[in-house]
């Protein structure tokens, strides 16, 4: 990619990620074009070289970008490079979906955009296989380095990935955008943990205008999911109070991701593998831990969230046991 193109994309990335209102206005104009898709794909990678320059004191002039003019101004080599990047990004997204790891699409595109410039004969399906088989991100980075002869620093990757994920809501995590369901609630909670959301009273996942970090208080982690529209990519206000029903003690809880845990004062979301995610006032951010480490005493369901038959059966069983005891 030419220095001119890289500089333009860098300025656009800073602009897009730095101001939510302006980002929305810009994307409305360019989303349907090749360059619009490219900017969406390139912004995270460009931010790698911009992290040291973007802060509260950064002054980024307003940009007026006409996507067609921008694309037309490039030389043929740069256009081809951008087309290749866009094509690879689409191939990665499709392959990640086919391998059942769609939720990691942004991660896969970010790594590709950041480190694969010199990799020859790239195959999206083989690349996606690494994400499907890796047990954790550390193993993933090791496998990518070994497979492609790269030297990606794991700590650098974590810092960059967290920064990028905090700048957006991962559209790839939802399995059913037409309903509010427990599987997507679990994905929402896990994404908040991965994205480094902080704890702040009264927040439900939106970004703070001062430091541009996403926050949620304890109930707000669930309320954020209930109020967020994946289609419109905005937070609504239909749910202002978290309404929940305690269903039974932990020994009666079915192992269904998206069920709530309660300890008498705070809520957590069971995300599978014996782990719970919750926004902690005491530590100041969204955290994850084994359920056994906490003081959780009961499991609960939330109004507005749909649950599978397994949960309905468990609730009925608890109620029947309670009735027989009485």
Q: What is the CA radius of gyration of the chain?
A: 22
The pLDDT value given to residue 161: 85
CB 137 within 8 A of CB 158: yes
The pLDDT value given to residue 8: 41
DSSP H helical segments within the chain, as ranges? 3-18, 20-30, 34-48, 67-72, 76-98, 105-115, 124-133, 137-148, 154-166, 182-194, 218-227, 309-325
Q: List pLDDT tens digits, range 122-179.
A: 999 999 999 999 999 999 999 999 999 999 999 988 888 888 788 888 889 999 999 9
The pLDDT value given to residue 87: 85
Angle at alpha carbon of residue 208, lines to 204 and 211, rounded to 5°: 145
CB atoms within 10 A of CB 60: 16
The pLDDT value given to residue 37: 40
CB 23 within 8 A of CB 17: yes
Question: What whole-number distance in Å separates Cα of residue 252 and Cα of residue 276?
Answer: 16
Question: Could you say which residues of the chain have pLDDT below 70?
Answer: 1-71, 322-326
Which residue ranges form the domains of the chain, and what is each CATH number?
A: 3-166 (no CATH), 170-326 (3.90.1720)
The pLDDT value given to residue 226: 98
The pLDDT value given to residue 52: 32
Question: What whole-number distance in Å separates Cα of residue 218 and Cα of residue 251?
Answer: 23
Q: List pLDDT tens digits, range 174-187.
A: 999 999 999 999 99
Q: How far is CA 38 from the centre of its chain?
A: 19
């Amino acid at each position: 990619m030419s220095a001119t193109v890289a500089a333009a994309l860098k300025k656009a990335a800073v602009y897009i990620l730095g101001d939510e209102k302006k980002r929305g206005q810009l994307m409305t104009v360019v989303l349907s074009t090749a360059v619009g898709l490219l900017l969406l794909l390139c912004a995270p990678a460009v931010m790698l070289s911009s992290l040291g320059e973007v802060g509260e004191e950064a002054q980024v002039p307003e940009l007026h970008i006409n996507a067609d003019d921008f694309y037309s101004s490039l030389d043929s080599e740069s256009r081809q490079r951008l087309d290749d990047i866009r094509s690879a990004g689409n191939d990665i997204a499709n392959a990640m979906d086919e391998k059942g790891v769609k939720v990691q699409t942004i991660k896969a595109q970010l790594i590709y955009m950041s480190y694969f410039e010199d990799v020859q004969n790239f195959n999206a399906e083989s690349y996606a296989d690494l994400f499907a088989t890796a047990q954790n991100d550390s193993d993933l980075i090791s496998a990518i380095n070994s497979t492609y002869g790269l030297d990606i620093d794991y700590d650098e990757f974590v810092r960059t990935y967290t920064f990028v994920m905090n700048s957006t809501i991962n559209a790839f995590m939802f399995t059913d955008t037409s309903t509010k369901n427990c599987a997507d609630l679990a994905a929402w909670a896990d994404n908040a943990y991965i994205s480094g959301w902080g704890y702040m009273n009264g927040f439900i996942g939106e970004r703070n205008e001062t430091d541009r970090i996403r926050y949620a208080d304890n109930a707000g982690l669930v309320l954020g999911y209930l109020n967020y529209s994946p289609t419109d990519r905005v937070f609504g206000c239909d749910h202002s109070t978290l309404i929940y029903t305690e269903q039974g003690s932990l020994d009666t809880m079915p192992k269904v991701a998206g069920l709530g845990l309660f300890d008498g004062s705070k809520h957590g979301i069971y995300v599978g593998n014996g782990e719970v995610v919750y926004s902690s006032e005491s530590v100041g951010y969204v955290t994850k831990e084994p359920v056994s480490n906490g003081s959780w005493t009961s499991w609960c369901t939330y109004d507005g969230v749909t649950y599978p038959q397994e949960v309905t059966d468990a609730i009925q069983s608890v109620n029947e046991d309670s009735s027989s005891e009485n």
